[in-house]
């Protein structure tokens, strides 16, 4: 395989990578939202003292994934 | 008039002294946990045992997480040194990809942790409850009354199980009801003894 073509980094390749990253980050943000929702469901099923903390962690994770998506829109 | 049925609310069970109440809910074997409730808990129902899989059984994904954390630090310099991979992406792309890698690694750790944390077996003064989250979106709750338990066995197989004192507890119930399994639970012998004591009181 000729990697030289790849390393040259044509505009088309960069554009494909950009679209791929954006789609992946959107999918990941959806996953992070589902994870947050599931944390709430789990906490309703079993209430423990650490539950609210874990929900907060899931919320922060969702927030970071959205920030990364936003940053990728701006930078890429 | 003769008493046909007496409510079990006055029946209480006190665990043996060596199984004193514990406060840590991060543990995998908690006797009479405080501030822990489950969705279908009845009024007057008291949690006696709160069990999870033994922490040592979580070792495979912990090792996997360590590999994921260290992978970019080890693989990227190696790839750039042998010039095999197109690493001359713009800096912004590389940064976003690395941040995304660690975000995915975090979610891998977090999902595995909550699957361990919320896969719970509960023994109350009335029932035995098995709460399973098989995957992120699949929830399965099985419960049986203590009075419907017919047989209870435990099995400890393997070197790790013997070393760390964990095993599977199988609760067989009457009739068509599904059996309840506590997989890789710590101190299976104590768990079985407590349930047998409860069966004797019901």
Over residues B26-46, mean pLDDT: 88
Q: Which of B100-109, B128-137, B175-184 has the highest mean pLDDT?
A: B100-109
Number of Cβ pairs < 8 A linking chain A and chain B: 90
In the predicted structure, residue B186 carries a pLDDT above the cut 90: yes
Highest mean pLDDT of the ranges A2-11, B61-70, B77-86? B61-70
Q: Which of A31, A35, A46 sits opposite B120 (nearest CB)?
A: A46
DSSP state for residue B153 in the 8-state scheme: E
pLDDT recorded at residue A1: 45
Please report, for residues B115, B145, B148, the alpha-carbon distance to residue B179 in angstroms, rounded to integers and kept in the order given.
21, 12, 11
- Best A37, A48, A59, A75 residue to mutate vs chain B (most B CBs within 10 Å): A48
pLDDT of residue A8: 57
Question: Nearest residue of B to residue A5 by CA position?
Answer: B86
A54 touches chain B (CB under 8 A): yes
**Element holding B171 (H helix, E strand):** strand B166-173
Q: What distance in Å separates the CA atoms of residue B195 and residue B36, rounded to the nearest whole number? A: 20
In this prediction, residue B10 carries a pLDDT of 47
* pLDDT at res. B34: 85
Give me the interface pTM, i.e. the ipTM: 0.84
More confident residue, B81 or B106: B106
Cα angle B81-B84-B90, degrees, rounded to a multiple of 5: 80
CB atoms within 10 A of CB B181: 14
pTM attached to this predicted model: 0.82
Q: Are the C-beta atoms of residues A76 and A18 closer than 8 Å to each other?
A: yes
Q: Please list, in sequence order, all residues whose beta carbon lies within 8 angstroms of the beta carbon of residue B124, skipping any fewer than 6 positions away.
A: B41, B45, B46, B47, B48
Minimal C-alpha gap between B54 and chain A (Å): 18
Distances (CA, A) of B129 to A62, A68, B20, B39, B46: 32, 41, 21, 11, 12
Could you report the per-residue pLDDT of B3-17, keeping only the tens digit for each? Answer: 555 555 544 555 554
Q: Topology of domain B5-53+121-201, per CATH?
A: PH-domain like (2.30.29)
How close B76 comes to chain A (CA, Å)?
15
Rg (CA), chain B: 23
Q: What is the pLDDT along chain A (76 residues), one digit of tens a residue?
A: 444 545 555 678 788 888 999 999 999 999 999 999 999 999 999 999 999 999 999 999 999 999 999 999 998 8
Interchain contact, B35 vs A49, CB within 8 Å: yes
Interface test with A, best of B136, B137, B138 (most A CBs within 10 A): B136
| Domain ranges for chain B | 5-53+121-201, 58-114
């Amino acid at each position: 395989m000729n990697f030289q073509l790849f390393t040259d980094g044509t505009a088309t390749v960069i554009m494909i990578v950009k679209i791929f990253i954006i789609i992946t980050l959107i999918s990941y943000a959806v996953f992070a939202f589902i994870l947050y929702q599931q944390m709430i469901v789990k906490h309703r099923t079993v209430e423990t003292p650490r539950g609210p903390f874990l929900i907060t962690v899931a919320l922060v994770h969702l927030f970071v994934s959205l920030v990364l998506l936003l940053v990728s829109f701006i930078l890429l | 008039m003769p008493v046909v049925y007496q409510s079990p609310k006055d029946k209480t069970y006190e665990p043996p002294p060596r199984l004193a109440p514990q406060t840590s809910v991060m543990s995998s074997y908690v006797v009479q946990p405080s501030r822990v409730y489950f969705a279908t808990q009845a009024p007057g129902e008291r949690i006696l045992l709160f069990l999870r899989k033994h922490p040592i059984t979580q070792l495979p994904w912990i090792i996997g997480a360590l590999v994921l954390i260290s992978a970019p630090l080890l693989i990227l310099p190696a790839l750039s040194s042998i010039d095999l991979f197109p690493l001359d992406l713009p800096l912004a792309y590389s940064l976003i990809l690395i941040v995304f890698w660690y975000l995915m690694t975090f979610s891998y750790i977090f999902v595995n942790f909550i699957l361990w944390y919320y896969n719970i077996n509960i023994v109350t003064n009335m029932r035995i409850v098995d709460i399973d989250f098989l995957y992120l979106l699949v929830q399965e709750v099985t419960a049986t009354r203590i009075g419907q338990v017919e047989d209870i066995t435990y099995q400890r197989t393997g070197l790790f199980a013997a070393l760390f004192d964990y095993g599977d507890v199988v609760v067989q119930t009457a009739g068509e009801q599904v059996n309840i399994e506590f997989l890789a639970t710590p101190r299976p012998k104590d768990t079985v003894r407590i349930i047998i004591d409860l069966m004797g009181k019901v």
